[in-house]
Chains A and B, each alone.
Chain A
Amino acid sequence: MTVKDLTKTFPVRKGVLGRAAAVIQAVTDVSFSIFPGQTLGLVGESGSGKSTTALCVTRLLDVTAGSIVFDGQELADLSRRNMRPIRRNMQMVFQDPYSSLDPRMTVKEIIAEPLRVYGAYGGGGQGERKVHELLEKVGMNASDADRFPHEFSGGQRQRISIARALALEPRLLVLDEPVSALDVSVQAQVTNLLRDLQDAMGLAYLFIGHDLAVVHHVSDWIAVMYLGRIVEYGSADQIFSEPTHPYTQALLSAIPNADPTKAGDLDEKIILTGEVPDPADPPSGCRFRTRCWKAEPICAEVSPELVDNLGIGHPSACHFPELRASGAHQ
């Protein structure tokens, strides 16, 4: 999948007649590529537009501008009807395993639903075998098929969601914070499962998260988003070992380190001032400048391009990019 200059705006309705008084640019000029068998991690805080991006690439939201090419086909302006056959090739897994599974359906019905919708269930026990296979693939037992979601823990429910997403043998999985709601000791089980499935099936992942350590662990490529724009884009190791955008650097430094011997030097921590501005009224020029310690007058005037100014192999959208070894490597 290749996404180019994706933009999504939401109108802010005002007044009794619902005239669009302003627009929120939720996502602006976002471009990235996802390769088969690899994972692109999308990282950002609330308001960064990462979830909107996910909904746009799966066309659960309409796209305002830009192009989304999946398997050589342009999706951005495809009608709902023409989207249908494509949708079976890209499935979503959501954050909350408690609300995303219908409590009145058995596990079997949940997993079989996409198969039935696409007429792929098959008679003569074929569909049933398929459901059992899927359950085993995600590390559960075939005997769980007749139970209900509430009988399972959060981690197991997320496995069920993944089995449902895999039912149609998609090529791309969009994972929207799939482990954020899980207990720490269970998160690793699910990330391992995702990795095993990717290796076995050659799946591509778009992994959305706010926990940088988790995103780093599962991703091959990472795009860091801030207020609707990608501010830095590179391989997972480049982003973590050679971040050049001040926001990425701050984000990395903000991760609390579980190893107290490394967490010691708190004065080294970059603590950003202020909060993320209102997306309906973003700052001019560089959107990060209001919280950036390096901001100069040019930052208010010119929005920086996402380019590799330092020539180190990955681009960042900053007028003054510089290498700063991230805390973890000191």
Chain B
Amino acid sequence: MTRFIVHRIAQIIPLLILLSVFIFTMMHLAPGSPESFYLTDHYTDEQAEAVREQLGLNEPPVRQYLTWLGAALRGDFGQTFTYGATVTDVILARLWPTVQLQLLALAVSIVIAVPAGVVSALRRNSRLDHSITTATLFGLSMPDFWFALLLMLTFSVHLGWLPAFGTGSDGLFAAPVNLVMPVAVLGLSAVPWYARVVRSSMLDALSEDYILTAAAKGLKPSRITIQHALRIAILPLVTVIGLSMARVLSGVIVVETIFVWPGLGQLAWEGVIRQDYPVILGLTIFTAAFVMIFSLIVDILYTYIDPRIRYV
């Protein structure tokens, strides 16, 4: 097990380097130039040159990359172009609001999706099952940003019940009223996926021989459903949740931008608009590392929920 973990971690570093090469190339191929952020509408070539000099952009790209890589390997992701702070500091400052949002959204999606999937499977082909299927299809086809705008229009503009943007708090935790809409959008958008996974894996589990064994033991249906069937049906859900974390950043970009949530998603959006190379690079590496470590954690978690799995 230890060997497995060490090996997996050792794989992460080269992957991240490869990724940074790719991102770096893409940034430099993109049109526009980062120095424009510092310049007024009318600027001289000397002014532009000075800014480029200051930002280290006048060096040949390969050299720029190697300098960045050298520092990054020592844990220094450099200065941002536009935030007046180091990349690490900026990312750390934005981390907590996003984590708060995601954890709550995950909790919401599981709390809704698991019972919906289970009920759907137990009452297969009933009216309830069909309405859940219809609702999930509806949810699957509704774009996040559209749903977010609808919510905002209804609850902030018309009814005035919920604040339209911000965290509503200077403290550690965002205000509950401010959390409602972003969490609803993020959480509900995952429900259809999760509910469908749970429904189909529950149906598989319920047709297994060991369910018949459990019934022949005289167990109550509730116990058979939860202790026996759901215990197995939850395994694919863990896999899907692990995979969906790979899309974590793209999900929050939309939601955080719309609700002006000071998290990583908003940072990514701003970074791209301002062509703040170090922020984009740093954030990409950070997210990629997070995804890889998260999938490692999921794999390790698997050995606890499914004892048949052993890594050597």
Contacts and interface: CB of A to CB of B under 8 A. Distances in A.
B7 interface: yes
B159 interface: no
Contacts of A14: 312
Interface string B277-312: 000000000000000000000000000000000001
Contacts of B7: 16
Interface string A1-37: 0000000000000111000000000000000000000
Interface string B5-43: 001000000000000000000000000000000000000
Contacts of A15: 3, 312
Contacts, number: 6
A16 B7 CA distance: 8
A14 B3 CA distance: 12
Main secondary structure of the interface of B (DSSP, over half): helix
A136 to B, nearest CB: 42
B173 interface: no
Nearest to A15: B312
Categorize the interface residue count of chain B: under 10
B103 to A, nearest CB: 33
A15 B312 CA distance: 6
B210 interface: no
B155 interface: no
Nearest to A21: B312
A80 to B, nearest CB: 32
Interface in B83-123: none
Nearest to B11: A16
Contacts of B145: none
Nearest to A14: B312
Contacts of A16: 3-4, 7
A223 B15 CA distance: 56
Nearest to B312: A14
Contacts of B312: 14-15
A325 B312 CA distance: 50
Interface string B187-200: 00000000000000
A14 B4 CA distance: 12
Nearest to A16: B7
A149 to B, nearest CB: 25
A16 B312 CA distance: 7
Contacts of B3: 15-16
Nearest to A17: B7
A314 B4 CA distance: 53
A223 B7 CA distance: 47
A16 B4 CA distance: 8
Nearest to B6: A16
Nearest to B10: A16
A151 B231 CA distance: 39
B175 to A, nearest CB: 48
B100 to A, nearest CB: 37
A14 to B, nearest CB: 6
B277 to A, nearest CB: 36
A15 B3 CA distance: 8
Interface string B146-159: 00000000000000
B266 to A, nearest CB: 40
Interface string A102-136: 00000000000000000000000000000000000
Interface in B249-289: none
A15 B1 CA distance: 10
Interface in A193-230: none
Nearest to B8: A16
A295 B93 CA distance: 74
6 contacts: A14-B312, A15-B3, A15-B312, A16-B3, A16-B4, A16-B7
The 3 closest A-B pairs by CB, nearest first: A16-B7, A14-B312, A15-B312
